[in-house]
Structure formats: structure tokens, C-alpha cells
Amino acid sequence: MADLTRLHAHEMAALLRSGEVSSRQLTEAHLAVAERQNRALNAWLVIYRADALAQADAADKRIAEARHAGAAALSALHPLCGVPIGLKDLVSVKGGQATAGSKILKGYVAPFDSTVTARLREAGAVILGKTNMDEFAMGSSTEHSAYGPTANPWDLSRVPGGSSGGSAAAVASFHAPVSIGTDTGGSIRQPASLCGIVGLKPTYGRVSRYGIVAFASSLDQIGPFARDSRDAALLLHAVSGRDERDATSAPEPVPPELLGLPADDDEAASYLKGKRIALPREYFVEGMEPGVAARVREAVAAIEQAGARVEEVSLPHTDYGLATYYIIAPAECSSNLARFDGVKYGLNDRSSGEFIEDYLRTRGAGFGPEVKRRIMLGTYALSAGYYDAYYLKAQKVRTLIKSDFDAVWTAGFDAICAPCSPTVAFPMGAKMNDPVSMYLSDACTLPVNMAGLPGMSIPAGLSDGLPVGLQIIGAPWSELSMLRLARGYEAITARATWRDLDPAELTLTDDPNTPSPIERKERLAGASAAGSGGQA
């Protein structure tokens, strides 16, 4: 059989049911490539070989029993039964680690499964391991991981985006057909864009967050990465829905049609006819690379050519998004991360014999620079005398940003199409000394979180050999329509030459002489120290 790692999840589902391939074969194939290439990519923080194979065998048993029981039992199995998956390392898997990319959670062992984990187990998906991320999901490059950066398989000297960079790089590198990420300001969509895959941030409330390490609770959502829209839909279906353990999960029905996005390109393309697409002029931001803007406009033109009606619109408060987000998200994080006190779990330093000093030492040693920066910002914005000027003001502007989107839905548009990341993948180290330039990576994605809307990034071609993402933004609970739109775009560009290209430096990851991302980072640090005369 051809290389099993090149299959989409929906193709695996068909082969598993017909008995042409087993979950053990699929799992072995993906484990082998993930283990071989991880040194050069650092996409995985841990790979659970033995557990994964046991889950694969259990899935094979379920499939065999269902086949024996008849067609109805076979079709009742979730399409992800037996399909390998990666989870961002902030998703609790009972008995496994959940570092959230932080030293403060090193050695922590999750005593329970998250709801997402439980639902994936119920579906029969095979958990291969946990993926790298910016510490506590704060960052846009995965360079803020305490366990070293992740490399982008399109160019190993560049970042995969973040914070879910490990999950994105793993799927782009064929280590798994699908993976789970989280998105607070763009942490699924931006890495999907930079790695050339599909990433979807669902409507706030769509997926339960029970058992997920929290960052900013009014913004965080969990969602899928995949190499096409059909697979993203399958994974969204598996994890969505109301959960009594998360009061913010909504009692919104999960559309069964997510399991049936059209396989046929003509049928998929016909969905685009008559759809009304809004193109927000403010999203072509200052500093956007011309190649990115060009690919996005070409993608929108292709959708228009296929029968959609595209109209330019204004989202007038877009420019206020960055400042608003960087008050609200740090404020919520400063509160959420207060729990890391060295008492219940995680790193602890009790050497001072004095409890306040113990907190200071534990948290000072356990958190990295970006997390400290955000806790400081958030604590300041919430502190006496500044609450009205910063936090309350930001919440009011949040209302205005949300109203901008509401007006688009009221005007009858089906979706918004926009750029996702203003740039293609940038070189490691390029933005590490300038937090504001890093924050600008999410200028086009974070308004969507503030409005609680679903958003996704889909591949729309290359600029200078690096992937560009098209962002699709929908009204609340419209994920199915967005995925149909994405599937339509895939259909009309099915023959585009860029669709056949592998990530340009993927083959280098098999070469033992290729430096690891950690070595690259050390070289960069050495070069910058030499450049500044060697002064510390």
C-alpha cells in the first residue's frame, strides 16, 4: 500500500471499514514518521507509542465487531474511529502530562480526562501524543515554549506560528491527519495559515473546555487542525456539544451534516453559487505583505467567479482590536494563572520558610518572560485606579467590535473572507525582542475571538514559497456553512499546482545533520550576543 501517512482521515475511515487497512497499521506508520522527524521539528513534546498502539488495537476490535454486526453498526461508528490524532499539550489526558508549554507544570500528571479527550476516546480516535505550544498559549510563534521552539516544515529556520504551532506542524508534516489546538486570539488560525493547513476556531461555547488549561476564559476555544475541510468537519463533530462540566458550553445542536461534506468537487463548488461574501477593507492592514494580500484577493476572486457575490464592507473598529485584546486577555490570564501557587500541583519552592516569599520564588522561577509580561499587564489593568481606564474601557470597545460584525450578519452576508496572518511564516528570533510586533501577528484574527465568532484559515496558495491562509469568519454557530464554503473553495482550486506541493523542507527533517530547533535557537542567541559585542 502507498504511504499511509498521506491519507486524509475520511479516506482512512473508508479503508478501515472495508478492512483494507487496520488502525494498527495507520498508527505504526504515523508513529514511525513522527518519531523520526521530531528531532528536526520539535512538534511533539511527548509521543505515547505503547498507549497509541493499545488504542489502535481497541479500535480495530471495535471495527471488526461492527463489521460482524452489519452495515448499521459499521455506519454508527464515528469516522475518526481508529484515526491517529495529536493533542496540544494543554489538553488533559488521564495519567499523562499537560505542561501547557510551561516549566511550572513540568511533572504534573493529569488525574482525569478532559471532555475533549473523553469524546475522542468515545469516537475511537488514537491519541499519538502531545504537541508543543507557546507557554500557556501566549504567543504567535511557539518560541515561547519552555521546551524549545517548533520548526516550520516549509522552512525549518522559520516559525510554524502559534500558540498551537506543534499541532499545526505535526499535521502539515503528515505525523497525523488531524490534531487539536486552542485559539484565544488566533492560536489555531494563524499557525494553520503559516503551515498551509486548515484550522478552525469554533463559536465560543461550541466545545467544552473542561480539562483544558485556561488562558483567557471569555475568549478561549478548542478546535481542529486538518489537511482539508472534510477532516476538520469530522473532528469538530467529534468534540462539539454541550457538557455539564463546562457552564459556558452551549446547548446548541451539533449538525450531523458535518459528517457529510460533499466528496464530489462539482457538488462542493455548486454551494458557492449565490452566496454573499463580505470583504472587510480594514483587514488589509498596514504592514501586510503584498504577496499575502494578492493570494487572498485571488482566492476571493475565484469564489466570486464560481458564483458568489462579493461586496466590500467596513468593520470600522478593527483598528482598536489589538489594544482591546491586549487588555482583556492579560486581565483574564492574570486571574486564571493565580492558581499556580505551588500548593496543589506544579513547581514549588518552599525554601524561604515564608509563604509570600515562597509564592514569589515559585512563580518567578516557573513562568517564562511572555507569561510574566501578560500577568503584569493584566494585574496593572485590573488594579485600583486603572480598572475604569483600561479594563472597563476595553470591555466597552469590545461591544463596538462585536457590533461591527453583527451589522454584517444583519445585512444578510453568509460569511466574511479576509486575510488571516498579515505575513507568511517569519524567521525564528525575528520578533522575540519586540512584543508589540509579535502581537501584530494576530491583528486580523483576534477581533473574531472578542466577538465570540467562528473563524477558520484555509490554504490559499504560496507567497515566496511559503503558505498563505484565507480566513473565513461566520455568524455564531455557522461552522457548517463555513466548512461548506471552504470545501467549495477546495473544489474550485483542486487542480491548482500548489495543492500538490509538500512542505519544501520536509525531506530535511529525515536528515540527522539537520539542526534541531533548539540548536537553531542557541545559534541565534549566540549570534545576537556576538553582534552586541558579547555583552550579556
Partner 1 sequence: MASLTRADVEHVAHLARLGLTEEELARLEGQLNHILDQYAILATLDTEHIPPTAQTIELANILREDVVQPSLSVDAALSNAPERSESGHFVVPAILGGGDGA
Residue 382 and residue 331 in contact, taking contact as beta carbons nearer than 8 Å: yes
Question: Which member of 161, 467, 474, 476 binds partner 1 (CB under 8 A)?
Answer: 476
* 229 flagged as catalytic: no
Q: How far is the CB of 135 from partner 1 (least distance, A)?
A: 14
- Using the rule CB under 8 A, give the single segment among 140-148, 191-199, 241-249, 255-263 that binds partner 1: 241-249
Secondary structure class of 222 (helix, strand, coil): strand
In angstroms, the Cα distances linking 110 to 45, 89, 213, 234, 346 are 15, 11, 11, 26, 11
> How many residues of this chain bind partner 1 (CB under 8 A)?
69
Footprint of partner 1 on residues 50-109 (CB under 8 A)? 108-109
E strand or H helix that includes residue 461: strand 455-463
Residue 354 engages partner 1 in binding (rule: CB under 8 A): yes
Q: Residue 212: exposed, middle, or buried by beta-carbon count in 10 A (0-12, 13-18, 19+)?
A: buried
Residue 409 engages partner 1 in binding (rule: CB under 8 A): no
Q: At what angle do helices 229-239 and 9-18 cross, to 10 degrees?
A: 80
Catalytic residue chosen out of the listed positions 187, 240, 334, 516: 187
Give which of 149, 161, 166 is closest to 187, Cα–Cα: 161
Sheet holding 309-313: strands in order across?
Answer: 44-47, 126-131, 84-88, 178-183, 221-226, 198-201, 455-463, 466-473, 415-419, 276-280, 309-313
Secondary structure class of 311 (helix, strand, coil): strand
Question: Which member of 265, 452, 498, 502 binds partner 1 (CB under 8 A)?
Answer: 452
For 28-63, the DSSP string reads HHHHHHHHHHHHHH--EEEE-HHHHHHHHHHHHHHH
Question: Which member of 63, 127, 250, 475 binds partner 1 (CB under 8 A)?
Answer: 250
Residue with cell 501584530: 440
* 187 flagged as catalytic: yes
Question: Which member of 204, 210, 215, 489 binds partner 1 (CB under 8 A)?
Answer: 204
* 164 flagged as catalytic: no
Using the minimum distance from each CB to partner 1, give the nearer residue, 10 or 374. 374
Using the minimum distance from each CB to partner 1, give the nearer residue, 345 or 409. 345
Catalytic residue chosen out of the listed positions 22, 92, 114, 163: 163
Q: How far is the CB of 155 from partner 1 (least distance, A)?
A: 28
Contact residues toward partner 1 (CB under 8 A) are 108-109, 111-112, 203-205, 218, 244, 247-248, 250, 317, 319-320, 322-324, 326-327, 334, 338, 341-346, 348, 350, 353-361, 363-365, 367, 369, 372-373, 375-377, 379-380, 383, 390, 392-400, 402, 435-436, 450-452, 476
Catalytic residue set: 88, 163, 187
